[in-house]
Each structure stands twice: as C-alpha cells, then as structure tokens.
Amino acid sequence: MTIKEIQEEIIEDFELFDDWEGKYEYIIDLGKSLPKMSDEFKTEDNVIKGCQSLVWLNAYTEGDKVYFQADSEAIIVKGLVSMLLKVLSGHKADEILNADLYFIEKVGLAGHLAQTRSNGLASMVKQMKMYALAYTSQELKI
Amino acid sequence: MLVGTLNNRKEALNTLNIDNIRAEFPILDQDINGKKLVYFDNAATTQKPQVVIDAISNYYTGYNSNIHRGVHHLAEKATSAFELSRKTIKEFINAESTEEIIFTYGTTDGINLVAQTYGRSFLKAGDEIIISTMEHHSNIVPWQMLCEEKGCVLKVIPINDEGDILFDEYKKLLSEKTKIVSVVYASNALGTVNPIAEIIEEAHKVGAVTLVDAAQAMSHIDIDVQALDIDFLCFSAHKLYGPTGMGALYGKKELLNKMPPWRGGGEMIKEVTFEKTTYNELPYKFEAGTPNIADVIGITAAIDYVNKLGKKNIADYENELLEYATERFEAISGLKIIGRAKVKVSVLSFVIDGIHPQDIGVLLDQQGIAIRTGHHCTQPLMQRLDLVGTSRASFAVYNTKGEIDRMVEGIEKAKRFLL
C-alpha cells in the first residue's frame, strides 16, 4: 500500500468514532499493541527532542526500504507514534521525504502535532524524514 | 465577595461568594472539548479578572503614552499609573520605600538580575551559594551560570520524601563561605511552603544575603519583607491574577545601591557623554528601555483585586479546596500524592501506578479539565523523587469543590481507558 492509501485507511477507521472516547480507545489500543522496543535502541541518540514524555526512534533499511521502530513511556504518545510507523515505515526514502501527512489533521489530532513542547509528534515526523534524507544521501553517494 | 475579616477556614467558604468571583473571570465561561472548562493549572498562571483586563485595555484605549519624560497630559497620566503600581507593590509586601521595587519581566528575570549584578560584583571564587532541592530551574540556572563564571560553589539543601527541607542539613551547609541563600517560598511542584523566616535568620547569622523566589507564594501567603528581613524577593504578576511578562524584584535599598546596573539604555541613565555615563537613582537604575507600561499598570488592578477579596480569605478557601481534593484523591486506588509537606499551598501533585502523567493530562483535557503534567521545570527535584514527572492540579480562588469532583470522575475514567 502507498503512504496515501494507508492514511486513507486510518481516516476511515477514525470515521467509525463519533466521540473522543472511541478515538482515544483506538489510539491507546494501538499504543498497547506496539511491540516493545529493545533496550539496546533506547539510547540518548535515539531520543526525540521536544517530547514531554520520552520517545525513542530507531531506523534501519532493508533493500531500498526504510523501516522504523519506536517506543514511548506514555501510552497515548505510543499510540500516535504507532500510527506514524504504520504510515511511514517500509517505504522508500524519497516517498517518506515527500509524504504529506494529512491524516493527522483529518482524524482530529492536529493539536497533538502542533504541541511541539508537550507531545513532540512534529519532532517525531521531522526525525523520520531526517532519517529518510540521510538514507537518500547515502544512496546518492553510492 | 468579601464581608469582613475571618478567623477560620470554615467561615471563609461562607464569606467569599465563589459564584460572584467566577463571574469576574470571563475566560472561565467557556466549553473545552464540549465540556465546561475546569482550570486547574493555576500554578502555571492564574486567569485574569475583568478589572485587570480593563486596566490594560483602558491604558491602550485611553492614555497610551511613554512614561517619565513626556510633558503632555497622556504621558503624565501614564507615568502616574505606572508609578502607582510601584507604590501598590511596595504596600503589598510592606517594603520600606518604592525605591526598593524594581520592575522586571518576572521572577526569572529578577533572579537573573541579582545573580548578574550582586553576584558578579560581590562573589569570588570559592564563595558558596545555597539553594534547595525543590527549586524551579529559574532559581538554579542563574546561579550555575554565576558559579561557572566566578568559580563559586553551589550547594543544595536536601529534602525528605514528604517534600520538607531538612533544616538541620541546611544549617550544616552554612558557613562564612556562604554568600547567598536563594530559596523558593512555596514549591510549584509539591506545594511545600518553606520555613522562610528561619531560613533567612540562619543565613543572616553567617552574613549571607537571601533571595526569596515568591512566584508561587504571592497569591497565597501574606508577605512582609521587613518582618521577614528579606534581602531580595522576586515574583511574577501573572501568578497573582495579573498580566504575563511582568513582575518585580524587591531589594533592600542599601544592597540595591551597591549593585551596578545591568542592562544599559533608557531610564537607567542620568547623563551620557562619549567619555562617560552616569546612572540614574533607584529604582530606575535597573529599568533600562521602555518598560511594559500596560502590564505594569495591570498589576495595580490585580493587587487591588486580591486585597478586595483578602489574601487570608483566599488562602483559607484554597486550603479548604486542597484538603477536599487531597481527601478525594486519596480514595482513588493506585493514586499517590507527591508532596506531603507539613505546610502547603494549594498545589496537588500526584502519580498513578502504571500510568504516565502525560496520558492523564491528555485524557482530562478531552474532558475539559486543564492540569499540568511533566517535571514542572524542577528536573532535579523529580530526579530526587525518582519520578519522570507528576500530574498537578493547582487551585485558585475561583475553583470549586464541584470541579474537584469532576476531576476525580475524570481520573477514574482515564484509568479505565489506560489500565
């Protein structure tokens, strides 16, 4: 699936909820089901700056695709991060770099993206794109 | 609405008409996420009554003008209102003279002023500065910067698990090397009210000067700088129902007179030639540039408002709220109150087993309840308590027990989601 198609799927999922409770239950469930990140990746280097709760992000490549792992102390942030992984992980670096993440606004979570001091979701997206950029640069060198 | 003076807490509830008080704060009358707003983030900033909003608005609409040097009507009117605020603050904290009141951008600015003027001028390598474990970053970092520059040593008063400072340990830290003792009056993270009179008394015995961070204390505790023999005191207007970006530093006149100016330009100048500049007298020596005139004027309205209600009445009512909330929160399984000091202001910090404080904050926000979560700019304190942070409800005079009930329900709901 393309990044756009995954976003559309998430937007459809959220359309099932007509109140905040359903949305947050869904996000919390996503957070709970996100695989725990191995402690070896929970390094200072992998901490996303700007988060009120600690968030770690790790990236690696397989073939021409970039994959992400992430974790957080706070379950709601973990759920939000889980959605970002679902959308961006496993795509080519240039697709990640050029991705327009409109689903965040569409599902009514734009506030979380804007609150850089408290939630750092924007920092998370930025870091994911930075990783993608780094891999793009590596490809160019090769 | 205030009717007479009160002697006990129970009477206070009957005396302050909270419905009328709430009506004076227009911001409270709104829905957040479809629910009536409950604002429990008062330790971060208090809401503003209409009289404060009007005072600021009236300045801009009626007599906006620069102060001190204008000869026209508007300038005179603005100058009078500006200087009235200095007098109002002087009386509010019982300073000896208006010359001892310096307008600042807030508490942090005041602490930095003292560190960068008194500290840089009178401290030398090996001198010691004492702070406490529960300090806000703004009462840590300016001293660290000074220590780095001058080679001074920063010492920290430890606390117990309840959040009280260990007074005997404080006394052990004091010596003839101690030059400054800078402590918070009331902790923003725990609510602890420190025994400030005793701390000052001990500091003075070794010849140290004292700085009191009164940011959290000003709206809750009557402060008499002369009775307490405080050398420096800083506060922010915005935690006292006043505007943001404005506060004051109180300093004993003899100390302020000895201190060099800090920022250059504007009202701090007496005469300038290219060869030499002479500086203005107190308090203007420390007030460079055009000040935040409107917000300085706003502080008079804020203090008048607090005086109208009566600080004791406010404190009594807030204590009633704190006791009620403590009781109700204690009944929530898995919830642990952080900060059990003997004397507290109306700050209630807590953690819940298995839940990150941020998750509680987000889910309460969805229910229209505003609290603060995180380390509250007291990271060393959180490290001492081995916490990533807390959730914090802090109460002001316009809050109600009904709102506390809503928060309890909100927490129970959040727990059902998160656990």
ipTM of the complex model: 0.88
Min Cα separation B358/chain A (Å): 6
Q: What is the mean pLDDT of residues B15-29?
A: 96
Check if B368 contacts A (Cβ < 8 Å). Answer: no
Q: Is residue B285 domain-shared with residue B363, that is, in the same domain?
A: no
Q: Which residues are within 8 A (CB) of B228 and not within 5 positions of it... i.e. 6 or more apart?
A: B196, B197, B200, B212
Residue type, A116: T
In angstroms, the CA B37 to CA B42 distance is 13
> Looking at residue A5, what is its pLDDT?
96
Would B351 be classed as within a structural domain?
yes
Helix (H, G, I), strand (E, B) or coil at B351: strand
The pLDDT score that the predictor gives to residue B1 is 30
**Model confidence at B152: pLDDT above 70:** yes
- Give the residue on A whose Cα is nearest the Cα of B373: A52
Q: Number of structural domains, chain B?
A: 2
pLDDT tens-digit series, residues A65-93: 999 999 998 999 899 899 999 999 999 99
Among A50-59, B117-126, B273-282, the range of highest mean pLDDT: B117-126
Which of B 31-60 lie inside 8 A of A, CB atoms? 33
Helices (H), B68-159: 73-92, 107-114, 120-122, 141-150
Residue B321 and residue B253 share a domain: no
Paired with B180 in beta bridges are B129, B209
Q: Is A70 exposed, middle or buried (0-12, 13-18, 19+ CB in 10 A)?
A: buried
Q: Which of B307, B323, B349 is the last residue of a domain?
A: B307
Per DSSP, what are the bridge partners of residue B394?
B41, B347
Interface test with B, best of A17, A21, A56, A119 (most B CBs within 10 A): A21
Query: Could you give the angle at the alpha carbon of B93 between the alpha carbons of B225 and B283, nearest 5°?
Result: 85
Question: pLDDT tens-digit profile of B251-266?
Answer: 999 999 999 999 998 8
Among A6, A34, A51, A55, the one annotated catalytic: A51
**CB neighbour list of residue B58: distance below 8 Å, 6 or more residues apart:** none
Q: According to the model, what pLDDT value does residue B69 have? A: 82
Q: Domain residues for B262?
A: 53-307
Question: Is B1 part of any domain?
Answer: no
> Distance between CA B336 and CA A17 in Å, rounded?
33
The fold for domain A3-141 equals: Sufe protein. Chain: A (3.90.1010)
B357 and B237 co-located in one domain: no
Sequence spans of domains, chain A: 3-141
Return the beta strands (E) in B256-368 as ranges: 269-272, 277-279, 335-338, 347-352
Residue A103 annotated among the catalytic residues of the structure: no
